[in-house]
Amino acid sequence: MHQPELLDAAVVRAWVGTAARALAEARVEIDRVNVFPVADGDTGTNMYLTIRDAAAAVRSAPEDAGGARLLRLAARAALLGARGNSGVILSEWLRGLTVAATRGDSLAIALDVAARTARRAVAHPAPGTILTAAESAAAAARQAEAGGMVGPAGAAARLSTTDAACRGAREAALRSVGALEPLRTAGVLDAGACGLVLVLRSLAAAQRAVSDRGREGVSEADGSIGPVLLDIDLHGHAPDAASDVDDAPVDPGVPPDGALDAGRHEHGGVATDDVELMFVLERSASADDFSPGAVADALRADLDDVGSSVVVVGGGADGSAGPAGDDADRALWQAHVHTADLDAALGVARRWASRGAVSRVSVRHLAVPPDRWAVVVTTAAPALAAELARGGAVVVLDLDVPPTADDLAAAAVGAGAPRVLVLAPEALQEEPAVPASADGADEAPEIVRVTAPGDVHLVAGMSALAATLDDPGEQDAGVPAAVGAVVAGLRVGGGPAVTVGAIVKRLVAGSPTAIVTLLPDDDVPDATVEVLASRAAAVSGGADVVVMRTGRRGDHVAIGVEPLVTDPAEEPA
């Protein structure tokens, strides 16, 4: 009988597809127990979206692609599409697994490499998380492999190695409630550890399906796999204070329980001023200034100086960060940090942009969960990005490499809401090249695009969205039209600060004004901004004046004037 290995193409195809469906089914339940490192309720969603991108890459590969190539494609797609802390760690675990598997290591060794690679990616590993589950899975697999048969006749033994890994991860997930104070307090299991259990169970199911059906075909093997379920009670745990804590592996760099993030202002377990910054760094793997491994270490240290929950994944062009070929010398890293000082964190990204190319820069606020509608925007103004994120937007920042329509579509799919409003220039409003939900495991969000040519349109659109959602009589179907009317009716201008007073007067002439938005660059003095705001209020007849710094160097001020609408049915002129 043919023995399915990790490098068997049929196994890889069946595995990633099954894992995507399993995480899609369980993500809401996993999201509900997400309390560490921050209680932002998206671990299941982030892990699903990460593996979903891996599955889409495998599904798009040529039919004759071998298992090694499929694993490399999956690892690269997961790295580029990784969402959140848990998704980034999962992508690095998959990358480590790929590196080991493609060089011919056994499954147990590959799982060990994956666990160690994932742990090294985290600046301050904590016990009881996905990292512990990965290590427990690897240890159980090593034990099973050491006691089983080897060679072509060892089919049953090798399948039991995967089963042992599943059991190891499950046992670690069950112990996780006693490993960290936030988990003990909430009485829940670690969300990331539970997600990894599903990924490993999907691998075991894929191996069995391919083994049972021989080499009859990937689609048939994939279709023969029933639902992969957690079979774990994630809630309602009330362990004794000392339960399992002494047995949990403790990293010496981890502060004692209760001291994590001490002194931060909390909002549902999330620092109220924290944002999540993620970006991709691409550079030559043979660059003389840093080796690929040293890049991750240095970038991790830089981000650790400006925030927490630091994870940097990726590495050299070893086949796991990208396919071989013309780009064989290019290496990719995905960086993740939670920070209260976005400007400092972006400073790190800018410094690394001078040594490579920084793209897919995204910012979101950790304490603002998506409402009935999520919103995705893009801007090149870093300070404005922080303000928009604090207002609830997922911001795709134009920092080094300009964002694409696909970048905005990916942000929309990962926004975590059934409906997503994308505010962006017309050039970025085209339909993405890749379908939003390529695996069919769940329904794609409804994505509605509203053209927003400039930053003042973003501010007006966000304000209109908040007002519309606060209106109890407004139905969801009317949200895009309401926001679109405000954005389209905005009167805009701008120029050097010394000319702004006259420009505002011209923009408000002949029409009552509701709001005047001023977006001054950083070189405009505070005193000048105060004078401009007072003058805007005076010439507009006492309209509300909103002032937000752009964070860009320069002496210009962008202006947006929103006419007053007295009749709710009347759109701005």
* Residues above pLDDT 70, as percent of the chain: 79
pLDDT tier for residue 151 given thresholds of 50, 70 and 90: very low
pLDDT digits (tens, 9 = 90+) for 443-471: 678 889 999 999 999 999 999 988 888 77
467 Cβ contact list (under 8 Å, min separation 6): none
Q: What is the pLDDT of residue 248?
A: 37
Backbone angles phi, psi at 271, to 5 degrees: -65, 130
- The residues with which 280 forms a beta bridge, in sequence order, are 334, 359
Q: Quick one: fold of 270-367? A: Alpha-Beta Plaits (3.30.70)
Sheet holding 556-563, edge to edge: 491-496, 556-563, 513-520, 544-547
CA distance 524 to 496: 9
Could you report the per-residue pLDDT of 261-274, keeping only the tens digit for each?
Answer: 322 333 334 455 58
Q: Cβ–Cβ contacts within 10 Å for residue 534, how many?
A: 12
Which residue's structure tokens are 């290019």? 330
Q: What is the mean pLDDT of residues 23-46?
A: 84
Looking at the predicted structure, is the pLDDT value of residue 541 above 90?
no
Query: From residue 59, how far is each of 15, 24, 148, 361, 455 by CA, in Å?
Result: 11, 17, 33, 26, 38
Cα gap 55→47, rounded to integer Å: 12
Of the two residues 293 and 88, the one the predictor is more confident about is: 88
Q: Where are the domains of the chain?
A: 9-223, 270-367, 372-487, 490-563
pLDDT at 402: 93
Angle 187-190-196 (CA atoms, 0-180°, nearest 5)? 150
Higher pLDDT, 567 or 359: 359
Query: In the prediction, which pLDDT does 442 show?
Result: 57
Pairwise CA distance, residues 411 & 49, whole Å? 11
CATH class held by domain 372-487: alpha beta
Q: What mean pLDDT is predicted for residues 119-125?
A: 93
What average pLDDT does this structure show over 356-370? 86
Q: In this predicted model, what pLDDT tens digit does every residue of 316-334 receive, in sequence order?
A: 644 454 444 445 567 899 9
* pLDDT at 264 (0 to 100): 32
Q: What is the DSSP string of 402-451?
A: PP-HHHHHHHHHTT-SSEEEEEE-GGG-SPPSS-TTTT-SSPPPEEEEEE
2-6, 123-127, 231-235, range with greatest mean pLDDT: 123-127
Predicted confidence at residue 433, as pLDDT, reads 45
Per CATH, which fold does 9-223 belong to?
1.25.40
CA separation, residue 143 to residues 93, 136, 164, 205 (Å):
20, 11, 8, 21
Q: Quote the pLDDT of residue 160.
A: 83
pLDDT of residue 538: 92
pLDDT, averaged across the chain: 82
- The CATH number of the domain covering residues in 490-563: 3.30.1330.20
Q: Calculate the CA dihedral of residues 217, 66, 8, 218 and round it to 10 degrees.
A: -20
Phi, psi of 314 (to 5 degrees): 115, -170
Position 172 pLDDT exceeds 80: yes
Which amino acid is located at 226 in the chain?
G
Q: What is the pLDDT of residues 242-293, one digit of tens each?
A: 333 333 333 333 333 332 332 233 333 445 558 999 999 998 766 666 676 7
Residues 96-109: pLDDT tens digits? Answer: 999 999 988 999 99
